[in-house]
Structure 1
Amino acid sequence: MGDQGRGFLRRCRCGELVRMGTSKTAKNPGRLFHSCSNGSDESRWYHTFKWTDECMVEEIEDLKLKMNNVEEDSMALQKNVNACESEIESLQMETCVCEVVVEKEMQECKMELRSLKNMVGCAVVMILIYMFMF
């Protein structure tokens, strides 16, 4: 038996495509197998020969491992998404606070500007009065 890989092998070590066949032996009648067409009883140690049910078990075991990895990666990704959503919410709150602060400062600047306009207006009026009086 060639133990060159797990699951369903596509090619033999010799490069030949692996084919599926049905056993006609008394020991394994009707049992499916995968083998290289170049293989014979004498050279079977080199060429691929695997029972299909064993291939299927290996495929399922490998798929279980892959699914576990996918689930772990999915959970890690979900944690990252949750962290990003939390960060976005935090930034949105900070933005709102900044907008309020900026709006308040703009109102204060507008009030100071009005005060300055009033003061300049008063100074101009006082200068004009002073000029006309003297």
Structure 2
Amino acid sequence: MGDRGFPTRCRCGETVKMGTSRTAKNPGRLFHSCPNGSAEDRWFHTFKWTDECMVEEIEDLKLQMNNLEEDSRSLQKSYNACESVVGTLQMENRVCEAVVENEMQECKIELRSLKNMIGCVLVLLLVYMFMF
């Protein structure tokens, strides 16, 4: 696509200028050309009709637009998939939090029971020591 659209530089390195045709064949038709070019060496220096440049630009922009729309649809699908995964992970996280909370409650109950047992054993030891 390097030669498509509006030219900005000639092969010779010169900046391309826009002009208006004054020929009988193309009166008033806009063109882009190298200031160093002439009718004889047009094959080397840049010359392109502006209307042709515009058609190429529009065609290229339409292609880019189609690609952007396709990319946008693809990104939307990826985003929706990510949202679904996030939703699933949030549910799993809530389940895990509930399980952990339940296990913590069970551990607290077991810890209280152990404390009570240790207290009973200490009381029994003290009673045993004072009795004998």
Q: Is the pair's TM-score, using the shorter chain for normalization, greater than 0.5? A: yes
In the alignment, the residues of structure 2 paired with residue 38 and residue 120 of structure 1 have an alpha-carbon distance, to the nearest angstrom, of: 103
Q: Does 1:60 align with 2:58?
A: yes
**Unpaired segments ≥5 residues, structure 2:** none
In the alignment, which residue of structure 2 is the partner of 1:98? 96
In the alignment, is residue 37 of structure 1 matched against residue 35 of structure 2? yes
Q: Secondary structure at the match of 2:94?
A: helix
Q: Which has the higher contact order (CA 8 A, sep 6+)?
A: 1
Write the distance in 2 (CA, Å) between the matches of 1:39 and 1:127: 113
Q: Which amino acid aligns with 2:120?
A: C
- In structure 2, C-alpha distance between the alignment counterparts of 1:11 and 1:132, rounded to whole Å: 109
Cα offsets for 1:20-56 (capped at 9, x unmatched): 1111111111111111111111111111111100000
TM-score (norm 2): 0.91
Task: Give the Cα separation in 2 of the matches to 1:30 and 1:110.
Answer: 93
Partner-residue secondary structure (3-state), 2:13: coil
> Where in structure 1 are there 5+ consecutive unaligned residues?
none
Which of residues 10, 14, 17 in structure 1 aligns to 2:15? 17
User: What is the percent sequence identity of the aligned residues?
Assistant: 76
| Equivalent residue pairs, number | 131
Q: Give 1:67 shift.
A: 1.0
What root-mean-square deviation, in Å, do the aligned CA atoms of Structure 1 and Structure 2 show?
A: 1.4
Q: 2:6 aligns with which of 5, 8, 12?
A: 8
